Amino acid sequence: MTTITRTSLHEAAIAGEPLVDVEIIDAHAHLLDERTPGVSFQYTAPEQMIEAMDRIGIDRACISVISSTKANAEMLDAVSRFPDRLVGFVLVNPRYPDEMTSTLDWCFENPAVKGIGEVHPTSYQHWYPVTGPAYEPAWEFAARRNVPVLIHSGPTSEASRCSPTMIGEVARRHPGFPILIGHCGAYDSWSMLDEAIDVALAEEQVYLEISAMARFYGVLEYIVKRLGPDKVVFGSDAPFHDWTAEIAHVACAKLSDRQKAKIFGGTMRALLGEA
């Protein structure tokens, strides 16, 4: 029987204690509230999110809205009230490209706003390919400001709109800002995970955000073995995914605490311009 050496983070997670010995920045969370139709998730309002974050040990969460771009006002309100805990990411809609730059200018007036996303090219959101010209104002803005952009990728049914390879094309056309491939592009496909890793290896500015990857056994160890921990970023996709499970995926991985610290927050801190 193989003996597993548990790290201090592993032990804290097993004990159900908040992970206070490491900085945790969630690169992928969403703000929802009672006005969002059809929502039945827990911990969706800002105060509730912070309650859940405190219980688990998450220091900060990068939040964006899932709605129209006008809902960015709710994100701005949340980060203004909790600037030490919530980091704003701006929703952009390629269906209204003429409004994209003004929306970004408006949101980035708030110093707690530090990124763009979640860019959602999928058929069930904006149904527009990530390589399409309507996204150009967002890429140009991100390059000018050197701010991170989180782009949804996967599952295989959405490969024609937001595959890892397509995101790599965006990176080649627009160097100069960090790009996070959401979910590693691999909701339902290990081959798409390999595709995302290959893109991150080829493109210096591309990183992998790992929410939903816990469905594959041993996947985090595999990613770190191929890519190293410096280009792997923790995200939860809360409240759609459970924070506890996403935290445990990293805390209980067969990695060193030093590697886990980079994944949990060290790399994202640098991408936010705070290193």
pLDDT in tens, 92-147: 999 999 999 999 999 999 999 999 999 998 888 888 999 999 999 999 999 999 99
Q: Which residue has the higher pLDDT, 37 or 257?
A: 257
When pLDDT is cut at 50, 70 and 90, the band that residue 38 belongs to is low
CATH topology of domain 8-271: TIM Barrel (3.20.20)
Sorting pLDDT into bands at 50, 70 and 90, what band is 1?
very low
Classified as helix, coil or strand, 36 is coil
Cα gap 134→263, rounded to integer Å: 32
Does position 36 have pLDDT exceeding 60, yes or no?
no
Say yes or no to pLDDT of 14 above 80: no
What mean pLDDT is reported for the chain?
Answer: 91
Query: Which amino acid type is present at position 148?
Result: P
Sheet holding 86-90, edge to edge: 25-31, 60-65, 86-90, 113-119, 149-152, 179-182, 206-209, 232-233
Q: Which of 81, 84, 80, 88 is nearest to 58 (CA)?
A: 84
Q: How many C-beta atoms surround the C-beta of residue 172 within 10 A?
A: 12
Cα separation, 67 vs 161, in Å, equals 19
Least reliable range by pLDDT among 22-26, 37-41, 211-215, 218-222: 37-41
Six token digits for residue 245: 């499970």
For residue 274, the model assigns a pLDDT of: 86
Q: What is the pLDDT of residue 269?
A: 97
Predicted pLDDT of residue 4: 55
Quick one: pLDDT at residue 32? 82
Distance of alpha carbon 61 from alpha carbon 43, whole angstroms: 13
Domain residue ranges of the chain, discontinuous segments joined by +: 8-271
Query: Could you identify the residue written with the tokens 């595999």?
Result: 222
Whole-model pTM: value is: 0.93
> What pLDDT is attached to residue 33?
58
Q: Given a cut of 90, is residue 194 above it in pLDDT?
A: yes
- Rounded CA separation 4/11 (Å): 12
Summarised one tens digit per residue, pLDDT across range 49-82 is: 999 999 999 999 999 998 778 889 999 999 999 9
- pLDDT at residue number 242: 87
